[in-house]
Amino acid sequence: MKIAIPVDEKSLESNVCVSFGRAPCFLIYDTETKESVFLDNSAAANKGGAGIKAAQIIVDNEAGTLLTPRCGENAANVLKLAGIKIYKTRDISVKKNIDDLSSGRLSLLDEIHPGFHGRGGN
Amino acid sequence: MLSGKGGTGKTLVSVNLAAAAEASTYLDCDVEEPNGYLFFKPENIQEEEVHIRIPKVDGKLCSGCRKCVDFCRFNALAFIKNQLMVFEDICHSCGGCILLCPEKALAEKEKIIGKVQKGASEEVTVYTGILNTGEPSGIPIIKKLLDENKHETEKITFIDCPPGSACIVMESIKGADYCVLVAEPTLFGVHNLDMVYELVRLFKKPFGVVLNKCLGLDGENPSEKFCLEKGIQILGRIPFDHELGKLNSNAEIAVRKSEGYRTIFSSLLETVKREVQHEAASNSKR
């Protein structure tokens, strides 16, 4: 299974990024092969709709699960249609969250925020 | 009338200038939260809805080429599980995706984003633009307001702009002959004045400043200092005054309720008219 995580830096030692849509990069981690792939988030600096595009990137890279501290409504709708499960991260460490997921310690993200559309510059 | 932030007195100045001009037009372009109508209380209101065109997908025709998804700079489209998703609230109605689609799988559909109202308050024709909550852009409403009034050449039109200096303000001042910048006597006020000062210069609009909330003769006024340093024309000063504050917070038009304020705004109006004529005359000579 492939897991996607928004990360601050392209390293397994990186922290989980506080934002999903605006994260600088994503880690795609394969739990079977233990392979890590880091992707640039081309949506990070977009004027609007970053969550939608970020979610499209996750879908296109065939992740089945997303670990994130938060997720907006539009991104959640894209991920839902693609059948991707969203779990809430518990820790700032990427590694710890992967371990927590495999040991069943993460719960599904149930708070989907309505987004920040148009705020921070029209 | 424009200013870098809300609450500096754009509506106060526009409403009172329009009322002082008697036969005039007032356009409330602050479509996210119009409030000029609260003062004018216009009668005989006519209302018209404003539509934009957004894409509608025909799933049977879509080949999944994603040209539309890649094109949309607002990311209003996503292609998931062989299905094109359109995020209507994100779409800015540019129509690009419809033009680009090689399969003609995208068509236009109309979406209501707000309305314009027209009414009368004594001799003032009052137009109000109202954008529905959650819509990304009020520009189509402003275009409609300006279009409704485009044949008005006899009477003066007072445009009450949205705050700031973004696209929505640019749209509001595009056709203006003169810009009045309203400023507060604080350092923050100077920062906000500077934003709109840069904007009107970029648009090559003739302009002047109204200093609002002035604290008497010896009161410090950083905005006045800014105007003097930059050689900006000061059109008038409105005092920081209890009577005006009370009238305004009761949604009364000061010009219609107080002789003193009728004099202040009539004299401001004469100054603005003189400036506009002066600009028109010097433009025709160029």
- Average pLDDT (B96-103) is 96
Given a cut of 50, is residue B166 above it in pLDDT?
A: yes
Domain ranges of chain B: 10-50+119-285, 52-112
Query: Which residues of chain A from 78 to 97 reach within 8 Å of chain B, CB to CB?
Result: 78, 81-83
Contact status, residue A56 vs residue B70, Cβ threshold 8 Å: no
Distance CA B265, CA B239 (A): 12
Summarize pLDDT for B10-43 with one digit per residue, the tens.
999 999 999 999 899 999 999 999 999 999 999 9
What backbone phi and psi angles, to 5 degrees, belong to B180?
Answer: -110, 120
Fold entry, domain B52-112: Alpha-Beta Plaits (3.30.70)
**What token pair was written down for B252?**
């009364």
Contact status, residue B46 vs residue B250, Cβ threshold 8 Å: no
Distance CA A36, CA A59 (A): 16
- Average pLDDT (A41-69) is 94
How does DSSP assign A2-66, residue by residue?
EEEEEESSSSTTSBBPS-STT-SEEEEEETTT--EEEEE-TTTT-SS-HHHHHHHHHHHTT-SEE
Distance CA B121, CA B36 (A): 11
Q: CB pairs under 8 A, 24+ apart, for B152-156?
A: B152/B25, B152/B125, B155/B21, B155/B23, B155/B24, B155/B25, B155/B125, B156/B18, B156/B21, B156/B24, B156/B25, B156/B273
Establish, for the pair of chains A and B, how many residue pairs have beta carbons separated by less than 8 Å: 54
Q: Fold match between B10-50+119-285 and B52-112?
A: no
The pLDDT confidence band at residue A65, using thresholds 50, 70 and 90, is very high
Summarize pLDDT for A17-35 with one digit per residue, the tens.
999 999 999 999 999 999 9
Please report which helix (H) or strand (E) contains residue B113, including its range.
strand B106-121
Q: Which CATH class is domain A2-102?
A: alpha beta
Sort out which chain B residues have CB atoms less than 8 A from A78's CB and list them. Answer: 78, 80, 85
Distance CA B71, CA B146 (A): 30
Sort out which chain B residues have CB atoms less than 8 A from A117's CB and list them. Answer: 89-90, 134, 136
Query: What is the pLDDT, as a whole number, of residue B278?
Result: 87
Distance CA B175, CA B140 (A): 15
Chain B: give the shortest CA distance to residue A94, in Å. 27
A56, closest residue in chain B (CA to CA): B78
Distance CA B164, CA A112 (A): 31
Contact status, residue B238 vs residue B244, Cβ threshold 8 Å: yes
Minimum-distance CB partner of A81 among B81, B167, B168: B81
Domain ranges of chain A: 2-102
Greatest extent of chain A over all pairs of C-alpha atoms, in Å: 44
Minimum-distance CB partner of A47 among B73, B79, B81: B73
Query: What is the pLDDT, as a whole number, of residue B115?
Result: 98
Instruction: Count CB-CB contacts under 10 A for residue B229.
Output: 8
The better pLDDT of the pair B152, B195 is held by B195
Q: Most B CBs within 10 Å: which of A41, A74, A77, as the mutation test of the B interface? A: A74
Q: Which CATH class is domain B10-50+119-285?
A: alpha beta
Instruction: Count CB-CB contacts under 10 A for residue A98.
Output: 20
Sort out which chain B residues have CB atoms less than 8 A from A59's CB and list them. Answer: 78, 80
Contact status, residue B168 vs residue A122, Cβ threshold 8 Å: yes
Chain B: give the shortest CA distance to residue A13, in Å. 31
Summarize pLDDT for B173-194 with one digit per residue, the tens.
999 999 999 999 999 999 999 9
Percent residues over pLDDT 70 in chain A: 94
Contact between B78 and A50 using a beta-carbon 8 Å cutoff: no
